[in-house]
Amino acid sequence: MPQLGETVADGTVTKWFKNEGDTVKRGETLFEVSTDKVDTEIPAPADGVLTKILVAEGETVDVGTLLAVIGDDDLPETSTGNAHTSSSASATSTAPAPPVPEAAASNESGGHVSPVVRRLLAEHQLDANDVPGTGPQGRLTRDDVLAFVESRAEAPSATANGALSPVVRKLLRENNIDVSSVRGTGPDGRVTRRDVEALISSETGSAATSGDEVIPFTKIRRLTAEHMTRSKSTSAHTLMVKEVDYEHVEDVRRTQGAAFKEQEGFSLTYLPFNALATLAALRDFPHLNGSVGDDELIIHHDLNLGIAVDLDGSGLVVPVVQHADSYDLRSIARKIRELAAGARTKKLTVDDMAHGTFTITNPGPFGTLMTGAIINQPQVAILATDGVVRKPVVVTDGSRNEAIAIHSVGNLALTFDHRVIDGAYAARFLARMAEILQTRDWASEL
């Protein structure tokens, strides 16, 4: 299990993209691992054949646990220096093949067999002479051994291999399920998390009304639910909303948006403007860039801005722009886009999610009016940037004459922890943000 962050002690293998016996190339996606912070796709550390999967889908294991073995398929038994590559941690490691009984090392018709075949024979406690060979001169191949094992196998046992992962045991216990009633689909019939969830789904579905669909929570969905529930029970959530005139920002988007898109390859949205205005206002109101300790407010001097990213409805993650106040408008737009893309393609590490001090959630592209977001613990506030629309507003000229004009207007919705932040402080923060958005020389930053 790779080390995906300094605070991560274990991970759950959620998906294997290759099966035993498949050829893999160094760098191509081999498996997906889920932690309490992020889902990440892990590449193969070497070229070769995936000879053995040691940890099934749904199993949770400690960092450093051997997950799989990658070896060479057709090296002769007499070759020296043969090594099997293990997909563990973040680097390639080697280990000698386990000892194989002499009887399994060769077959009468075909002579010596490859290391992969030797390993398969040993794993299934077979003698090479018992398996018909279809290779050159009757030599045993990997497919011969697998076909022989399959032909003599009985229906997979739910308790095959004995071991059940902590996740599987927890699901069985919580749902009062006897493991013998679950058909295992993992290696050697091992019961996986998906096997248990499939059984739960089928049982729940049979009791549901016609047409109902039951979708078991994924790990990221469960973790999101737990985090949100814990936050609501921890913080004294209070919502405050400020209407902002975005016409000054809109002028920049209107005049420079096309050139920006041509240069960068994506549109100039309101989010980077809101991000920089947030960071500038946090410098003036630092208590909002803090976290709650033991009867204390911890004010962070680094401004590490989290941006909530929706994973197509399966959950939320919050990648973090570290030292975000060092970015200008163009560079923070690039960074936010890069982190969001990495989150959705599962290319981020736990460290990309760490050390956030303040969070923005951005439902605005969907035209929302007002969002009461849930605080990202242990932070003390979260800002929702809602939809910007064209609407009539009252404007004044230099002589304080009033008129009606059509401007771009939107809401900033701040959810804050009233245990440590008072309403007046939050209101002044929002007023400062509005002032920055409405007066800053944004054009010069592009």
Report residue 317 CA to chain centroid gap.
7
Calculate helix-pair angle for 423-439, 271-284, nearest 10 degrees. Answer: 130
> Measured between alpha carbons, how far is 168 from 174 in angstroms, rounded to an integer?
10
325 is written with which tokens? Answer: 């106040």
For 159, phi then psi, to 5°, come to -110, 20
Q: Which of 280, 271, 277, 250 is nearest to 393 (CA)?
A: 250
Element holding 95 (H helix, E strand): strand 91-95
Do the Cβ atoms of 371 and 412 come closer than 8 Å? no
Residue 438 three-state SS: helix
| Cβ neighbours, 10 Å, residue 391 | 12
Helical residues (DSSP H) of 16-161, grouped into ranges:
115-123, 142-152
Do the Cβ atoms of 106 and 100 come closer than 8 Å? no
The active-site residue, picked from 39, 325, 422, 441, is 422
Do the Cβ atoms of 14 and 58 come closer than 8 Å? yes
Q: Residue 418 catalytic?
A: yes
Calculate helix-pair angle for 329-344, 247-264, nearest 10 degrees. Answer: 70
DSSP codes, 134-179: -SGGG---HHHHHHHHHHH--SPPTBTTS---HHHHHHHHHTT--G
Q: Residue 295 catalytic?
A: no
DSSP codes, 289-314: SEEE-SSSEEE-SS--EEE-EE-TTS
For 22, phi then psi, to 5°, come to -75, 145
The active-site residue, picked from 251, 284, 302, 418, is 418
| Cβ neighbours, 10 Å, residue 285 | 17
Q: How do 305-307 and 358-361 pair as beta strands?
A: parallel
Do the Cβ atoms of 372 and 413 come closer than 8 Å? yes
Q: Which residues are catalytic?
A: 418, 422
